[in-house]
Structure 1
Amino acid sequence: MNYKSTRNSGIRVSASQAIAQGISAEGGLFVPENFPHYSHTDLLELARCGYTERAACILSAFLSDFTAEEIQECVTAAYTNGKFEKDIPAPITSLKNGMQMLELWHGPTCAFKDMALQLLPHLLTKSLKKIHSSKTALILVATSGDTGKAALEGFKDVDGTLIQVFYPQNGVSPMQKRQMCTQEGSNVAVCAIEGNFDDAQTGVKRIFTDPEIKQLLEQNKILFSSANSINWGRLLPQIVYYFSAYCDLLANDTIKCAGEKINVVVPTGNFGNILAAYYAKKMGLPVHKLICASNSNNVLTEFINTGVYNRKREFHTTISPSMDILVSSNLERLLYDLTENDSERVVGWMKELAANGRYQVGDDVLCPLHELFYAGYCDDEETKEAIKELYDSEHYLCDTHTAVAANVYQQYVKNSKDTETVSVIVSTASPYKFADSVLSAVSDQYQKDEPEFDKIQKLSELTGTAVPPQIAELQAKTVRFGTICSRENMKEIVLKTAKIEPQA
């Protein structure tokens, strides 16, 4: 299995090269040259397995330059030995209203990014050895909140790596910020930027392709890699939990036979999480509709509904900050797939986006978009109403991103009249990462100016739910990182992390 670039279909690299490099030299994203297919019989066999076996099976189809033993080492290190609560990485909670909540937040940082970022460091270090690189990998991360902490935790003190995380100064929750700024590890660095997530993401992509920085890194035996979902090694593990969810539904008789279709509802901003679900469908997972849920930054909703991608709009800072994104990187991979790997068309759209802030696809792309996806969005008030409704009716406490998915799913049911299809709601974070907003949604006792950890305690007492120890322990941790830089100075921060003096 080799990998092509979305911006140059002539490129062919191995899986290990794609993972080590993170992004193609011309700025394209790596995609597999073909996709394996899983039959209904395969799904029945996977339903009898645990999560690590399912992960090993799916990864092996894409990582052809890894041995079976190497893949098993990676998934065992990532998903066992207490990394996830009860050693069950992706449990499903069935609600009385029929929603199947796929809870992806029982890992070290209480967010779905752990599902991939506990695995990626093992894949990356093995990939570097396979391409015979003795260089240090400098992991660059732009985060809207959850990826940063999950990447920092995953790469903490991993030999041969450095990691630099950038986050928007006023664009993450207090708990997300505290998680990052108290991070332990000798190889980690965190910096806030004056701007939003799109500014951070654009800055990181620019640094990746900067010839001067590349030369300096080469001279110092350092190479760039990424822990964002632009890296195939981050996206691939996310495919696994969709297969695993289906297998669990089969095993517990929620769906009666292999082949019965499900809906998948994903709150997303950068499009990686729902792209993984699309790839799972492409690989034979029986999915009826992919439901894309956005907050007030509804650029994806408009694109799926109209074919127009327009980032030139008001940016909203919302209570679901991990989705506060106007440039959705992974959409490029979907466009490449829907155009049957036409990299020239993809390059054209990306140039239009960079130059004009918008592009528009034709009916040949829009028609399959409508067939595959449903898209909706909701604002902060509707998000809070969804949190309260789920808590009052189901005694189920969810975070602000999961609530967006629940709201958009109800929109889908109302518009489509589809009440029969089993629907999996992707629950992406613990409610305690967004305690302020969740508490204000479910309690009349909410006081905005209360200290954050007082709100966490009050939310626990009110709802009878336990504060995750990973959250509770943060109160006593020392803040290590407080640097703030402009978008223009990100380059200097990266060189400082790499201990490289900029050229005069």
Structure 2
Amino acid sequence: MSILYSSTRDASVKVKASEAILKGLAADGGLFVPDSLPKFDKTLEEFSKMSYREVAYEVMKLLLDDFTEDELKHCINSAYDSKFDTDKMAPLVKADGAYFLELFHGKTIAFKDMALSILPHLLTTAAKKNNVKNDIVILTATSGDTGKAALAGFADVPGTKIIVFYPKDGVSPIQEKQMVTQKGNNTYVVAIKGNFDDAQTGVKKIFADKELEKRMDAAGFQFSSANSINIGRLVPQIVYYVYAYAQLLANGEIKAGDKINAVVPTGNFGNILAAYYAKNMGLPINKLICASNENKVLFDFFKTGEYDKNRDFILTTSPSMDILISSNLERLIYRIAGNDAAKNANLMKELRETGKYTITEDMKNELKDFYGNYASENEDAATIKKIYEETGYVIDTHTAVAATVYEKYKKETGDETKSVIASTASPYKFTRSVMNAIDKKYDALSDFELVDELEKISKVKVPQAIEEIRTAPVVHDTVCEVNEMSATVQNILSLN
């Protein structure tokens, strides 16, 4: 039976996977979700004998079932190739009593590469399947990593343009340099005078502008998204949790059927939602450990059942998680509401109008799979220093948030279940914060002097992604106010 996708806000909307990927966001502002989550049709032992590409096909074919085998395998093989600096794509490293799942071996050294390497191929295949004649305009907000990964994925892809908005003072210097030096005749990068939530809200408003949609269509364009609101981003993320389990099994660290914990640093909730979907598809996950930084809106939600974004927005050293509106949480809310679109739509309306909502006790009981906690800036830095000094392994600031929360979880529960920590970015992406955590003396050095020092202490070669931006010229320097985002898009597309 074919999997159809519904809007989280309107149960009557039913589309195929390729249509959901093309649209990105439902017309009513809802997110596309599968009507059901199919169970894996391969055993855990079978997965343990597969390459990353093979696991990707076996997982993704279940949810993207209107793609033919040839189409899907072409997308997978085009994505997971020499762009990654390891054949394993996502290797596991055992350190400090856990298994770090390194998701940063792609072109832009962040976990977003795992999905954004394949999304352009899924999108262009979906466009052909649905006889789309318009150019696809990818419109995306980024808190740092999605932007560069999406730009790299879509650069010079025929029939597409990509426009990325990022908060001017809300990303690391390396993240910003990666974006503003991006080549490609179809790439556009715009800094906004605001934070990530402003950028994300602005993008959603542009998507919802029906008048603009008509003008776009007349000019031969249509919007789609590379954010994790696009189901084409989320499905590939399920793969690496299955692959992590398969590696543990292949290495004799666990037996088939043994449960593991998944520890995920999260802001927009997509990465941990993928782990939740994997669990519901049959992966033996015990606890989903949701790690927040000082913008701890998700921790408070799991603790109280109230989601409240009415608080100060804090700029931290883990900027990809500096988020107060966790878009993907809506997919979980829809599910724990019993797939009730009307109930979910009402809660999202409350969020829009009052900045908060509270779930029912019954819904709260559906969250038993999750544990939430957060790491302060000082705890984050202390974890980086401790793990380096005790093991020689250097982790980035986001991974350190997860490692800190994992230690809190163990202390609280005494649970010694083997645990996989999603290591979401290379420490090279946040060199200043990482090196300062290890020793304050490094703060006197320039950004690229820090890169060279990190190579010395970590004994990990400087990634190509960093080498290529040392001397790369800035090619994007547009800055706009939040209320100018739509006009900026129209100007880029010559619609004014």
Is TM (by shorter chain) over 0.5?
yes
Secondary structure of 1:475 counterpart: coil
Residue correspondences, number: 494
1:481 aligns to what? Answer: 476
2:277 corresponds, among 276, 279, 290, to 279
CA contact (8 A) 2:40 2:59 kept: no
Distance in 1 between residues matched to 2:166 and 2:301, nearest whole Å: 26
2:179 aligns to what? Answer: 180
1:58 aligns to what? Answer: 59
2:39 aligns to what? Answer: 37
Say whether 1:440 aligns with 2:436.
yes
Q: What is the deviation of 1:5? A: 0.5
1:490 corresponds, among 477, 485, 494, to 485
Distance in 1 between residues matched to 2:381 and 2:487, nearest whole Å: 40
Distance in 2 between residues matched to 1:268 and 1:151, nearest whole Å: 19
2:243 aligns to what? Answer: 244
Residue identity matched to 1:156: A
Say whether 1:26 aligns with 2:28.
yes
CA contact (8 A) 1:194 1:486 kept: yes
Unaligned runs of 5+ in 2: none
1:457 aligns to what? Answer: 452
Q: What is the deviation of 1:33? A: 1.0
1:99-498 correspondence to structure 2 within 5 Å: 99-256=98-255, 258-369=256-367, 371-419=368-416, 421-448=417-444, 450-498=445-493
Secondary structure of 2:110 counterpart: coil
2:83 aligns to what? Answer: 83
Secondary structure of 1:85 counterpart: coil
Q: What is the deviation of 1:362? A: 1.0
Distance in 1 between residues matched to 2:440 and 2:205, nearest whole Å: 46
Distance in 1 between residues matched to 2:397 and 2:64, nearest whole Å: 35
CA contact (8 A) 1:162 1:498 kept: no
Unaligned runs of 5+ in 1: none
Distance in 2 between residues matched to 1:374 and 1:86, nearest whole Å: 32
Residue identity matched to 1:86: T
1:394-439: CA deviation from partner (whole Å, max 9, x where unpaired):
11100000000000000000000112x1100000000010000001
Distance in 1 between residues matched to 2:440 and 2:174, nearest whole Å: 22
Distance in 2 between residues matched to 1:184 and 1:112, nearest whole Å: 21
1:328-363: CA deviation from partner (whole Å, max 9, x where unpaired):
000000011111110111111111111101100011
1:237-281: CA deviation from partner (whole Å, max 9, x where unpaired):
00000011101111001112x111000000000000000000000
Distance in 2 between residues matched to 1:180 and 1:345, nearest whole Å: 39
Distance in 1 between residues matched to 2:88 and 2:309, nearest whole Å: 38
Secondary structure of 1:100 counterpart: strand
CA contact (8 A) 1:47 1:247 kept: yes
Say whether 1:4 aligns with 2:2.
no
Residue identity matched to 1:128: A
Distance in 2 between residues matched to 1:316 and 1:148, nearest whole Å: 20
CA contact (8 A) 2:393 2:458 kept: no
1:189-235: CA deviation from partner (whole Å, max 9, x where unpaired):
00000110000000000000101211110111111000000000000
Distance in 2 between residues matched to 1:86 and 1:297, nearest whole Å: 33
1:455-483: CA deviation from partner (whole Å, max 9, x where unpaired):
21122223333211210221110101111
Distance in 2 between residues matched to 1:399 and 1:168, nearest whole Å: 21
Q: What is the deviation of 1:379? A: 1.3
CA contact (8 A) 1:138 1:498 kept: no
CA contact (8 A) 1:56 1:71 kept: yes
CA contact (8 A) 1:166 1:193 kept: yes
Q: What is the deviation of 1:75? A: 0.3
1:343-394: CA deviation from partner (whole Å, max 9, x where unpaired):
111111111111101100011111121x111100011111100100110111
Residue identity matched to 1:77: S
CA contact (8 A) 2:165 2:190 kept: yes
Residue identity matched to 1:227: A
Distance in 1 between residues matched to 2:163 and 2:307, nearest whole Å: 30
1:268-316: CA deviation from partner (whole Å, max 9, x where unpaired):
0000000000000010100000000000000000001110000000110
Q: What is the deviation of 1:173? A: 0.1
Secondary structure of 1:446 counterpart: helix
Q: What is the deviation of 1:444? A: 4.2
CA contact (8 A) 2:6 2:34 kept: yes
CA contact (8 A) 1:142 1:165 kept: yes
Distance in 2 between residues matched to 1:86 and 1:440, nearest whole Å: 28
TM-score when normalising by structure 1: 0.97
1:124-182: CA deviation from partner (whole Å, max 9, x where unpaired):
00101111111100000100000000000000000000000000000000000000000
Q: RMSD between aligned alpha carbons?
A: 1.0
Residue identity matched to 2:396: D
Residue identity matched to 2:74: E
TM-score when normalising by structure 2: 0.98
Distance in 1 between residues matched to 2:140 and 2:128, nearest whole Å: 22
The percentage of counterpart residues that share the same residue type is 51
Distance in 2 between residues matched to 1:50 and 1:115, nearest whole Å: 15
CA contact (8 A) 2:137 2:160 kept: yes
Secondary structure of 2:132 counterpart: coil
Distance in 2 between residues matched to 1:168 and 1:444, nearest whole Å: 27
Distance in 1 between residues matched to 2:227 and 2:432, nearest whole Å: 27
